[in-house]
Amino acid sequence: MTLVNWRTMVLASALALTSAAVSAQSEGGLQPQSGIPSNQMPGALVGVQFDQRLNETLPLDLMFKDEEGRDVRLGTYFNRRPVVLAFVYYECPMLCSQVMNGITSALTALDERVGADFDVVAVSFDPRETPVMAAAKKKSYVDRYNRQGGEGGFHFLTGSEASIKALTAAAGFNYAWDEQTQQFAHASGFVVTTPTGKLSRYFFGIEYAPRDIKFALIESSAGRVGSLADQVLLYCYHYDPKTGSYSFVAMKAVQLGGAFTLLALAGFVVVAIRREHRAGH
């Protein structure tokens, strides 16, 4: 394929991406919440944040229920090895599964093993959820991880509203219930703690670099606290299961992703043209 043909194909791809994005928005695939300007945060997201509270210690005396319905002290899962701590809710229609999928996929790439070198603790921030739901989620992620020790290293907890609020507040995880949609508005990510429950490193989004997690676990196992992470938050908000559409923030994320893709393609074309021009001289 000649450079000219390659350049033409790239430009055509860029145009196709632009057309697809516009089409998705015009056909209702991604709809903003009506009545909200594009530069304004929806009311349900005001105050929803994942604050980095590095070097602070979690309240390990809090009580929760494990997947078997037994009362457990949070500290049961600490004092031995680092902990990957995720705040999710098990019936979340959007980001929570993506967060857990991203965590599990990244962990399968590590030499370090769940249950031997560190633990994974998922805590539901919906007090209505039950140990039965937690057990089902645990099984799905133990199966997904599919490595020795997973059964003893993954822990899915439920708890009272008081325990949940105390733990999420200590970790800086701020969420909100939206009465209109009957869903939680929350950010995505997780935190790594030292064996003693000290907040060591935050990860945001839904995809995580295994090498970064590895370094965070090494630091945490030695009791060291990492540095502040760049905060690029995704929010779970206004997912409509009837139409399969997302609103506002999800739409903005897609738009930004499309813009970055187009910029990258344009940059490639410019570089290719300059190289071709220099080669001709």
- 216-259 pLDDT, tens digit per residue, is 999 999 888 866 655 444 444 444 444 444 444 444 444 444 54
For residue 246, the number of C-alpha atoms closer than 13 Å in the C-beta half-sphere is 16
The burial of 123, by beta-carbon neighbours within 10 Å (0-12 exposed, 13-18 middle, 19 or more buried), is given as: buried
Cα separation, 99 vs 192, in Å, equals 14
CA dihedral 212, 218, 221, 223 (to 10 degrees): -80
Percent of the chain residues topping a pLDDT of 90: 51
Structure tokens at 49: 């944040």
Task: For residues 99-115, give the mean pLDDT.
Answer: 96
As beta bridge partners, residue 124 has: 88
pLDDT per position as a tens digit, 78-99: 988 999 999 999 998 878 899 9
pLDDT per position as a tens digit, 136-176: 999 999 999 999 889 999 999 999 999 999 999 999 999 99
Q: Collapsing DSSP states into helix, strand and coil, what is residue 161?
A: helix
Structure tokens at 178: 């939206």
pLDDT above 90: residue 48: no
Cα separation, 267 vs 29, in Å, equals 29
- Cα 86 versus chain centre, distance: 9
What's the mean pLDDT when you consider all of the chain? Answer: 77
Of 161, 222, 232, 236, the C-alpha closest to 192 is 222
The structure's pTM equals: 0.70
Higher pLDDT, 39 or 52: 52
CA triple 109-112-118, angle to 5 deg: 120
Q: Collapsing DSSP states into helix, strand and coil, what is residue 183?
A: strand
pLDDT for 115 equals 95
